[in-house]
Structures are given as structure tokens and as C-alpha cells.
Homo-oligomer: A and B are copies of this chain.
Amino acid sequence: MNAEIVAIGSELLSPYRQDTNSLYLTERLNQLGVEVIFKTIVGDERAHLTSAARTALSRADIVIFMGGLGPTEDDLTREAVAEALGLELHRDDAILKQLEQRFAARGYKLTANNHKQADVLTGAVVLANLKGTAPGQWIAGQYEEREKLVLLLPGPPFELKAMFDEECVERLRAKLPVQHIAKCELRVAMLGESLVDSRIAPIYKRYSDVQTTILAGAGEIQLHLRCRGESLEAAQRRVDDLATKIEDELGDAVFSSNGESLEQIVSYLLQMRGMTLAVAESCTGGLLSERLTSIGGASRYFLGGAVVYSDELKTEMAGVPARLIEKHGAVSREVAIALAEGIRARAGSDLGVGITGIAGPSGGSEAKPVGLVFHALAHREGTDVIEKSFPGDRKRIRFFASQQALDMVRRQLM
């Protein structure tokens, strides 16, 4: 079975907003064995909406409409889908009553425009909205003499997610042939996309039954493996088999086989080893600290950090000798080491990280171009340094540098 997702709302046709619900729905549908073959984005005009509904119904088995179920004049999804399917709308007393109660509980009276949220297509199953007012609808109908499954879901992401998970997944599963889909997500640090692909392509090409998707970001490659099989065990065996071979090839560059972020892995490892960390960062400007503390409970292992933009603060907060900066420059191997060792001593942590570099766009020179970054990690046995020249703009260079530093911590803890 295949599906089309129709996202409704004029704001989704502006330069400022984008449909994101469809990513969530696609993941869920894929898990059920349903492929998404089209996505359409349409505004709040009745004629456009009806035309989009007809087009979708003519080419997909399952059509999911998102949005346009609210109480305003612009909310026309019910009317347009009813017209496209040739069905009537009737006002549902049970829904009206629920709406009245919901409003009364908050001290409001149900206004007339809200009544239309109780309009239901003939034969539709009403889907409860646990997080908002507009209920959804599930219609098993016909279009051009073929069976179609049509879902009307609300647009706000938290309403949509709750309704799909609670009200739709089991109903869909009952309608669909049993599917066994196994998945695995590997993540790889600090290797380039073409290098990774050239090394693993000979491997994954031998697994034609496993779909391999490669996504590349700054300092990170994600490998999504997916397989359908006669049983979940058989499918999982194929995915795990391929994942193991890829891990053997890429070695410890693979930091996660479960889709975790690098900061999450560093968090696990620090807690497992019972160790603490402090950081002194210059060009990353707080990004490394921000990533480390984005994980709840980070205070168990992250003591803190210094964002030492000025030379004076490098001395004041991380104890870097002023003459070292004078002699080698703020962006140097020596200052990176001094930052890492200084913050480790100052914070009394097991590990200390120092980062200094040139994120650009200005500040580069021939000897020290934009993108040059020194990363140092101080530990009990000494201090390691990695020098890199990262490509890209300020944002990308900063992310690369934070990723490199996290990867050094990870490797030290392994």
C-alpha cells in the first residue's frame, strides 16, 4: 500500500513556514510498511483543496489530510474532502456535547463558529483529539471504484502526533498485510561522506534487500538501514549482519548503533566511568558547553566551562600564561593545551577540553586561515591535541570543532 500526505494551510505556502508533520507521519507509515509516494501542500482555498483531494485520491491508496479542521472560515478540509468523495456532512450531536463541555470547563460558551468542528462525513469514524478541540476522521470509502482509506488529522504537531499514535496506528495495522520491518541507525564521527561511501558501498551493495540511506552533516554521517522480511527475526538478522560488517569496516569511527547523538554517547560514557568534564572554549563560543548540557542530568558529569573570547579571560579563567599567548598567538597548539590543562585544574575535573581557532568570516591570515582549529584534551596521562582545517561558514566550522572535541572525549573514554 502507498500513501499521499496532503498538508493544508496557506501559511505553509509562505516563505516562513514549512510542513514538518509529514516527516513524523512518514516514519510511522514506513514502520507499517506503507510508502509515501507524494506530498502535496495546498492553501486554504476551497477549490484548490478539492482539486488536491481529487488528485491525491486518484493516485494513492491512503490519503492523509493534515490541518484545516479548526473553527474558522478558513478551515475547509471537511467540506473539500466530502465534495471530492461525493459524501454528505452531518453535524454530530455527541461531538457538539463534548465541545460544549470542554468550553464550559474553561468558563467559555461554545460560539457558533465552533459548531462546524462537529461536522462529520457520512460513514466516518470519529478520531478523538486528546490534545485539542477538533476531532479527526477516518473514512474507508471509494474513489473511481477503488478502495481508499482517508484520514483527516489536525494540523498542530502535538495534536496530530497524539491522534495518529493513539487512534490510527492500530486501525491501520489491522487493515494492512502483516509487515516485518527491521531498522538500525549507525552514526559515524569525523569522516567525510565520500570516504565513508567508498569504504562501505562494496558491503551494502551485497545486501540488496536492505535499504541503506546515507545522510551527511558537519563531522557526522548517519547510516539508516531498513529491511522487510518474512519474519521480524529474519529481517533483523539481515540488518544486524550488515551493520556489523559496516562497523568492522569503519571501526571506532562508528560511535552509535542506535541513533544517539555524540553528546548523548559522551554522557553515557562519562557516567559509566564515573568521570567529570570541564571545557574552555574560544572559537566555539559556548557551543560545546551548550551541546553537553542539552542532555538532561548533565550536572552529574559536566562541571562547567569557560567561554574565553578575550585573551585576558583565557588567563583569568583558564590560567593560560599571558606570555604563552604573546609568543604563539591565541590560536595555537600551545594555547589549546594550556586551556585544556588550565580548566581541568581550575574545575578539578577528570577531563579538560580546550578549543581555540578561527571561525571567520574575518580574522584569518595566510599562516592561520579561517577554519583552522586546535582541540586539546587533558587527562590523567597527559594532553592530546588535534589540529584541523574545517571547510564552510562560521556556523559549520563551529559545529565541526565541537564535534571533534566531543569525539576526542569519546575516544578517551572507550
Contacts and interface: CB of A to CB of B under 8 A. Distances in A.
Given A285-B302, A298-B309, A299-B310, 13 more contacts: A14-B26, A16-B224, A18-B20, A39-B41, A48-B59, A285-B290, A286-B290, A286-B292, A289-B289, A294-B395, A305-B307, A310-B347, A312-B348
Interface of A: 11-18, 20, 23-24, 26-27, 30, 35-43, 45, 48, 51-52, 55, 59, 213, 215, 222, 224, 278-279, 284-290, 292-294, 296-299, 302-310, 312-313, 316-317, 346-348, 359-363, 394-395, 398
What 10 A-B pairs come out closest when comparing CB atoms?
A285-B293, A286-B289, A286-B286, A15-B27, A286-B290, A304-B313, A39-B41, A305-B307, A289-B307, A304-B309
A220 to B, nearest CB: 13
A311 B181 CA distance: 48
B38 A52 contact: yes
A215 B294 CA distance: 25
Contacts of A13: 26, 35-39
A309 B363 CA distance: 31
A346 B312 CA distance: 10
Contact of A18 (B23, B38, B317): B23
B37 A48 contact: yes
A55 B39 CA distance: 13
Given A18-B18, A18-B20, A303-B313, A394 B296 contact: yes
A388 to B, nearest CB: 19
In the complex, the count of this chain's copies comes to: 2
29 contacts: A13-B36, A13-B37, A14-B213, A14-B224, A15-B24, A16-B222, A37-B43, A37-B48, A38-B40, A38-B42, A40-B40, A284-B290, A285-B290, A286-B287, A286-B289, A286-B290, A286-B292, A296-B360, A296-B361, A296-B362, A303-B312, A303-B313, A304-B310, A304-B313, A305-B306, A306-B306, A306-B317, A312-B347, A316-B346
Contact of A16 (B213, B288, B348): B213
Nearest to A402: B290
Contacts of A27: 15
Contact of A285 (B37, B40, B45, B294): B294
A349 B409 CA distance: 32
B306 A304 contact: yes
Contact of A307 (B39, B59, B306): B306
Given A286-B287, A306-B307, A23 B15 contact: yes
Nearest to A43: B37
A307 B310 contact: no
A200 B409 CA distance: 51
